[in-house]
Chain A
């Protein structure tokens, strides 16, 4: 199994998702960063609840956009749960951050960051979550990811 830093990106905009994923790969061309894009909140929740990211599959970091739709248009769109109906897509990333925090209750816990165009003052950043503005913050994000990679406790169990 690769010892690349596994990063989950929650981003609905395909241009930005592709761009960010490429950038993250390029920051460590030798395969040090392994980004995976999830475009909707429903997919994110499903994968988390299904345990796709448990055990050996646990990501090292979650980078979450804040305003993300619930699901892609589909005749079989999963029905939105009450908290999504009430909160709307405006705070999808924050809900996901809280779910990740609750899901991984034992060490080593994945790192969580919000990557958004929203001003920090406009959102309630959950505890233990980093905030990166999309404007000119990619270097900060790069440094943050590199610092995670350098820390041994972010190696996945078994490595």
Chain B
């Protein structure tokens, strides 16, 4: 049941593991104890209940002894000594934890485990202790027992912080590659992987670390991405054969002596073409992929230990991480090193899934756009289930029955003893995690009649009664791992089995997952024999594909929404630019025409100028002056919009740092800037709104900020205030000295309120308040996004503080260093 613990990617510490376990049970809290005096003890509270406040600390020998006595005596008696799980009735005052903020638990369930060192030698005992306000259920006990088998391994990883750092570093390095607004480039990914290989080699004291990954489609790069730390690599032939073996089998390979392995694994080193079909499946390229190996030769070491871990997604093998140790004696990789490598592979798989998905989506979207949404694209190519019309898929669930039916058909092919299969969707809005409905049922009993009748029977939507919803499937959802019942006549204690079909003998249930999220379950039922481990694996394979498919569809929808939003934003910007520019052009054209008319009038004057002519010329001159004034303001506004658009374009890519050139800005400069900004706002505000623009600037020290960006920020904040201010109110810009020696510049306004709950959203690009679009035709919801990023880049902070109709937006500017 390692999966329960290792479901968390980017594992930070044991507390997170304990939390993950706690979430799967009804426990009030879960603690994990490792009683060796030199190891850490972790106490993990369950988030909302704030049960225990102690996070982690080094346990002194004396305290460890005390804790162990407490655990043994007060809670479990001789549970640990006997090596058996034990329920203990708790008594007030004899509990070692701090339960200050919660009700006292009444029961504890303690599952002992034994820590093993790197060589597998049993060491000090430990325990998983879960606290309940009632006697723990059988399900809770089973989950905790499973978890207890995992924790020793995790302890082994945690105990050696440098090894765990490799995992953290991997997650952090990959996390910096932005997958949201734009797809990371091959170069970025390669650089990140090279760093990871370097770190791996250093952390595991390896001669060589190699990451081989199949390539995302539609990119100009080798079919396989192969990155090493640049150190010596073994012979290409050996590497190729063994890597092939790992890729084909999807399980870790471990050879203490590579030369020995070379000799005995000759059959494994088959020609690459022999795994052609598998690789084609894996890559989704639709064509054979070539494994590109480096030309460097392994040089001189007498013995080479070799460890490779596949990077898997469900049962798909996406690539492998391989490490080599050059040593004088044959050696094994330690348990800790293996786990480190496996954890890194997990993180890589998670990342790879996102990258491939993002790359594929780019292609799908461009195809759809190019062919006006009628394109038949192979959306589920990687899933290998069927071809779908994307437009239909996204607008209706017309293809869903076929998709689900195909999935079930595959289950039948892979698991012939599954006579009844079904897919149940989880109601994700239901806090109790109940199933919403059966979405697809396929049964041997229903295969009679016409094709249409069969299909109608197969695909049904109906409510599931509660006993079914709370039985096997729900348990599987909570565990996030497959479960099987060998005979429904003798179900495990605490599990109510109410099979759909009376002929059911055995049941197996597999979660349909997307990462850690369980979307539903795949149910397999047999009439006369139990399911094997292989059957469960087959079910997992199909469920993984379904999960991936649903994830792909969700990602596609969100990308499409984003595209539409971007398109709308561009249209708005075009309007805001075009409107004043065109009006300004018209005004200037009129000025030009009247000037020419005046020239002709003046040229025609030969004698005394008539009074009427003078009056006419004066009137024309006034009109020209006015036209020029209007044109100037309109052009200024357009220029401001253009600057905003340009800055937005630069900031929209979060991978790019915001370029800024801060200088010392004096008090007088800032005051002038504020006055000018308010004057401009006053000029472009309708008079009947009667807004007052007021500066309030006291004595302030110079600040450190990019002057252009400061102008942009202030202009944006004042413009926001102007747009949303109520008639007859005041827009006040105030500067004060802040506690840290910098300056706070606050724009106060009274207008369309910003709800406090929405304050956190202003940083999102494209977000506008619910009433914003009703009171102004200007704005795309990018103003505060820009200001926030610019202020941050200049070392300051932006604080938005609404209070009813009054909104205060403060820019904290840093002092001059």
Interface residues of A (CB under 8 A from B): 12-19, 22, 26, 39, 67-75, 77, 80, 84, 88-89, 92, 117-118, 133-136, 138
Interface check B49, CB cutoff 8 A: no
Chain-A contact segment, one of B133-141, B346-354, B389-397, B680-688: B680-688
Interface check B777, CB cutoff 8 A: yes
Distance, CA A16 to CA B578, complexed state (A)? 13
Distance, CA A61 to CA B723, complexed state (A)? 29
Interface check B461, CB cutoff 8 A: no
Closest Cβ neighbor of A16 among chain B residues: B583
The answer to whether B684 touches A69 (Cβ under 8 A) is: no
Specify which chain B residues have a CB less than 8 angstroms from the CB of A19 in the assembled complex.
Answer: 583, 587, 630
Q: Is the interface of B mostly helix, strand, loop or mixed?
A: helix
Shortest CB–CB separation between residue B324 and chain A, in angstroms? 61
The answer to whether B774 touches A69 (Cβ under 8 A) is: yes
The answer to whether B775 touches A71 (Cβ under 8 A) is: yes
Closest Cβ neighbor of B804 among chain A residues: A75
Distance, CA A74 to CA B626, complexed state (A)? 31
The answer to whether B589 touches A136 (Cβ under 8 A) is: yes
Closest Cβ neighbor of B623 among chain A residues: A26
Shortest CB–CB separation between residue A100 and chain B, in angstroms? 20
**Chain B, 719-760, CB within 8 A of any chain A CB:** 723-727, 751-752
Distance, CA A89 to CA B579, complexed state (A)? 15
- Looking at the complex, which one of B585, B684, B687, B777 makes contact with A67 (CB distance below 8 Å)? B777
Size range of the interface on B? 20 to 34
The answer to whether B777 touches A89 (Cβ under 8 A) is: yes
Q: How many A-B residue pairs have CB under 8 A?
A: 83
Shortest CB–CB separation between residue A54 and chain B, in angstroms? 25
Specify which chain B residues have a CB less than 8 angstroms from the CB of A84 in the assembled complex.
Answer: 774
Known: A19-B587, A117-B582. A75 touches B805 (CB 8 A): yes
- Looking at the complex, which one of B578, B587, B633, B727 makes contact with A74 (CB distance below 8 Å)? B727
24 intermolecular pairs with C-beta atoms under 8 Å apart: A12-B776, A13-B579, A15-B583, A16-B580, A17-B686, A18-B630, A19-B630, A69-B774, A72-B689, A73-B724, A73-B725, A73-B726, A73-B751, A73-B775, A74-B726, A77-B771, A77-B774, A92-B777, A117-B575, A117-B579, A134-B579, A136-B582, A136-B589, A138-B586
Specify which chain B residues have a CB less than 8 angstroms from the CB of A134 in the assembled complex.
Answer: 579, 582-583, 586
The answer to whether B586 touches A136 (Cβ under 8 A) is: yes
Interface check B634, CB cutoff 8 A: yes
Interface check B773, CB cutoff 8 A: yes
Distance, CA A68 to CA B579, complexed state (A)? 12
- Looking at the complex, which one of B578, B634, B773, B805 makes contact with A88 (CB distance below 8 Å)? B773
The answer to whether B684 touches A14 (Cβ under 8 A) is: yes
Specify which chain A residues have a CB less than 8 angstroms from the CB of B582 in the assembled complex.
Answer: 117, 133-136
Known: A88-B773, A135-B586. A15 touches B684 (CB 8 A): yes
Distance, CA A69 to CA B725, complexed state (A)? 14
Closest 9 CB pairs of A and B: A14-B686, A135-B582, A70-B774, A73-B775, A117-B579, A117-B578, A67-B777, A73-B752, A73-B751
- Looking at the complex, which one of B580, B589, B726 makes contact with A75 (CB distance below 8 Å)? B726
Specify which chain B residues have a CB less than 8 angstroms from the CB of A117 in the assembled complex.
Answer: 575, 578-579, 582
Specify which chain A residues have a CB less than 8 angstroms from the CB of B589 in the assembled complex.
Answer: 136
Specify which chain A residues have a CB less than 8 angstroms from the CB of B751 in the assembled complex.
Answer: 73
Distance, CA A56 to CA B653, complexed state (A)? 58
The answer to whether A14 touches B685 (Cβ under 8 A) is: yes
The answer to whether A39 touches B774 (Cβ under 8 A) is: no
Known: A68-B777, A72-B689, A72-B775. 19 other contacts (CB 8 A): A14-B685, A15-B580, A15-B583, A15-B633, A67-B575, A67-B777, A69-B776, A69-B777, A73-B725, A73-B751, A73-B776, A74-B727, A75-B726, A75-B805, A77-B752, A118-B575, A134-B579, A134-B582, A138-B586
Shortest CB–CB separation between residue B309 and chain A, in angstroms? 53
Specify which chain A residues have a CB less than 8 angstroms from the CB of B726 in the assembled complex.
Answer: 73-75
- Looking at the complex, which one of A26, A74, A89 makes contact with B773 (CB distance below 8 Å)? A89
Specify which chain B residues have a CB less than 8 angstroms from the CB of A89 in the assembled complex.
Answer: 773-774, 777
Specify which chain A residues have a CB less than 8 angstroms from the CB of B583 in the assembled complex.
Answer: 15-16, 19, 134
Shortest CB–CB separation between residue B687 and chain A, in angstroms? 7
| Chain B window 552-585, contacts with chain A (Cβ cutoff 8 Å), 1 for yes, 0 for no | 0000000000000000000000010011101101
Specify which chain A residues have a CB less than 8 angstroms from the CB of B686 in the assembled complex.
Answer: 14, 17, 39
Shortest CB–CB separation between residue A117 and chain B, in angstroms? 5
Closest Cβ neighbor of B724 among chain A residues: A73
Shortest CB–CB separation between residue A31 and chain B, in angstroms? 16
| Chain B window 609-645, contacts with chain A (Cβ cutoff 8 Å), 1 for yes, 0 for no | 0000000000000010010001001100000000000
Specify which chain B residues have a CB less than 8 angstroms from the CB of A138 in the assembled complex.
Answer: 586
Closest Cβ neighbor of A138 among chain B residues: B586
| Chain B window 682-703, contacts with chain A (Cβ cutoff 8 Å), 1 for yes, 0 for no | 0011110100000000000000
Shortest CB–CB separation between residue B686 and chain A, in angstroms? 3
Specify which chain A residues have a CB less than 8 angstroms from the CB of B630 in the assembled complex.
Answer: 15, 18-19
